[in-house]
Amino acid sequence: MNKNYKTAIGMMSGTSMDGIDAAIVRIDDDFNFELVNTHTLQYPDDVRKKLLQLANNNANTSDICFMDFVVGKLFAKCANGLVEKSGLNKDDVDFIATHGQTVFHIPQVIEMGGIATGSTLQIGNISVIAQETGIKTIGDFRSRDIAAGGQGAPLVPFADELIFKRNIPRVIQNIGGIGNVTVLSPKCDTFAFDTGAGNMLIDSVVNRFFNLPYDKNGEIAKQGKVDEKWLTELLKEPYYSKLPPKSTGRELYNEEYVQNFLKTAPENKYDVVATITALTAKTIADAYKNFVLPKTDIKEIVIGGGGAYNPVLLNFLKEYTGGMEIKTHKDFGIDDKFKEAIAFAMLGYCTIKNIPNNLPNCTGAEKKVVMGVISMGNIG
């Protein structure tokens, strides 16, 4: 760390919609960083339920309007909680960088009125966060990349490159609601894409059959066995064979999708969870085989996100990759749940310094742009 550093709060809530992860980070002008503290705020049940309705295209315009402010207040509450817990006050924090909560993401170009464009919507209003925390707040990162012809995703590879460098061939595999991989290697340019569902489908079937929010430590999957025939069926989803750059979300893996595939599911509910867990691992392993290994070998996989806590999932991944070395962010001194929050702090750092922070090779954008919109902190 050199003397020229900023203290930032990065905040993230992904497609799992489990809650908000926040990290206070010091970042210097060489992008060295120091993690000061972290905090998580679970979404209240009714908020999560409404967000899922929004993401399933199953709510009204008035819900979007209202929830933008509700979620903004929750993000602010999370940031304020983190500042207090860290024994700091708001003046010690230079800025907040928030991903917000994606409620819809349409990276593919659609036409209307002679206009052709992709689109994306993250709620959690940044003016509300700036007002409630008194801290300058940066958000709405994805829009600028889409405006520049990109997919608006993935954005985290920018930080992965800074954190892990490219000295040995490795893949950084996030397993949140969706699975996202960043390929870092001296043998090729950095590239990244979504591998498919991460925990999202696991959460969905566990919720449906066991009335639990997720399969804690893979306890349920552990008790079932993989239905190979059904797994083969599930792998026919066309997304998996699409060439990168590509990204996906709840727009694909929605309620209807789950209801459809359950029609051919095995009867034993434990087998359903085991097979869906295997599906996540298999789609990741296949993505490496089809899209990564033709460009570079892989010395190690570094897992992050909540999926890092599911040993059954990681065992399947080991098996399907033919025994590749699997590490987690923890092995690099970074809490598995907070790398993305740290990444957004880094992206926000770039916004205030006017440094381009998208990777066109990862998002498909026509050029480098400075992503992020700023809402100023309170006066006085």
Ligand X SMILES: Nc1ncnc2c1ncn2[C@@H]1O[C@H](COP(=O)(O)OP(=O)(O)O)[C@@H](O)[C@H]1O
Q: Can you give the binding site for ligand X, defined by CB under 6 A?
A: 13-16, 18, 176-177, 199, 202-203, 214-218, 305-307, 309-310, 337
Shortest Cβ 340–Mg ion spacing (Å):
8
Report which residue type is found at 200: M
Please return the burial class of 379, using the count of CB atoms within 10 Å of its CB with bins 0-12, 13-18 and 19+.
exposed
* CA-CA-CA-CA torsion sign (75, 77, 80, 85): negative
Q: Which of 5, 67, 13, 69 is nearest to 42 (CA)?
A: 13
Interaction residues for Mg ion, span 250-289 (CB under 5 A): none
358 binds, among ligand X, Mg ion, none (CB under 5 to 8 A by kind): none
Shortest Cβ 203–ligand X spacing (Å):
5
Shortest Cβ 286–ligand X spacing (Å):
21
224 binds, among ligand X, Mg ion, none (CB under 5 to 8 A by kind): none
Residues with Cβ < 8 Å from 66, sequence gap 6 or more? none
Q: Give the largest CA-CA distance in the chain.
A: 65
Residues 27, 361: Cα–Cα separation, whole Å: 25
Asked if 9 contacts 335 with a C-beta cutoff of 8 angstroms, the reply is no
> Judged by CB, which is closer to ligand X: 185, or 195?
195
Shortest Cβ 76–Mg ion spacing (Å):
18
> Judged by CB, which is closer to ligand X: 99, or 282?
99
199 binds, among ligand X, Mg ion, none (CB under 5 to 8 A by kind): ligand X
Q: Does 247 bind Mg ion (CB under 5 A)?
A: no
Shortest Cβ 369–ligand X spacing (Å):
24
> Judged by CB, which is closer to ligand X: 203, or 237?
203
φ/ψ of 112, rounded to 5, equals: -155, 135
Q: Does 98 bind Mg ion (CB under 5 A)?
A: no
Shortest Cβ 176–Mg ion spacing (Å):
6
Pick the piece of the chain touching Mg ion (CB under 5 A) from 6-14, 30-38, 83-91, 293-301: 6-14
Q: Does 16 bind Mg ion (CB under 5 A)?
A: yes
Q: Does 14 bind Mg ion (CB under 5 A)?
A: yes
Residues 41, 21: Cα–Cα separation, whole Å: 7
Cα distances (Å, whole numbers) of residue 321 to 30, 174, 178, 289, 316: 35, 16, 19, 8, 8
Instruction: Give the footprint of Mg ion on this chain (CB under 5 A).
Output: 14, 16, 18
